[in-house]
Chain A
Amino acid sequence: GQQVMQIPQYQHVQEGEDFTTYCNSSTTLSNIQWYKQRPGGHPVFLIQLVKSGEVKKQKRLTFQFGEAKKNSSLHITATQTTDVGTYFCAGSGNSGYALNFGKGTSLLVTP
């Protein structure tokens, strides 16, 4: 079945450094979504990418969807302590709607 792999599992950065998490699927995705979960909280939707090669920006966050629609990345520029949390990608395949979540990247930002 479809698998979504996410790396790295953990990332510890100093405030002001950049951060990137990568998501790879074993099959072509119809779309990919990104979520953020703060410690003790629940996942909160960040963005959805649908088109091949799509790039979207939200302030310091840049999201990319690969040309083959099998990989995606989230890049945060100049991290802040408020960026702390676990970032999940979630993809759905062409044959169904069910979202498959990656295991997430836990980001720790120290001042």
Chain B
Amino acid sequence: KAGVTQTPRYLIKTRGQQVTLSCSPISGHRSVSWYQQTPGQGLQFLFEYFSETQRNKGNFPGRFSGRQFSNSRSEMNVSTLELGDSALYLCASTAGRGGEQYFGPGTRLTVT
């Protein structure tokens, strides 16, 4: 089985811009979670989607949003980028609720 894929792998944006990141889960996985990873804060949960519905949401401002499509692919969007949004954004897919998470390689976002 192919693993979780994320595009793009690297991205450089300027403050105020918006960005869309994409995640394709493992075939058959219906749950996709997004995380922000920074050296100071570790892995922070953004949100989780299951069958096109947001099932859980972390403590992030409304500038961070996401969605999931009928084929389980997911996108996350960050609007009005700030310098502090520079991070590695990871998505993870799960076969079922509460199971092990399979992480993608991440998208490294740099905001200048």
Contacts and interface: CB of A to CB of B under 8 A. Distances in A.
B83 interface: no
Interface SS of B by simple majority: strand
Contact of B101 (A45, A96, A100, A102): A45
11 contacts: A35-B103, A42-B104, A42-B106, A43-B101, A88-B43, A90-B43, A96-B56, A97-B56, A101-B35, A101-B42, A103-B43
Interface residues of A, number: 23
A99 B102 contact: no
Interface of B: 33, 35, 41-45, 48, 55-56, 58-59, 90, 92, 97-106
Nearest to B46: A98
Contacts of B102: 45
Name, among B48, B90, B98, the residue most crowded by chain A CB atoms within 10 Å (CB to CB): B98
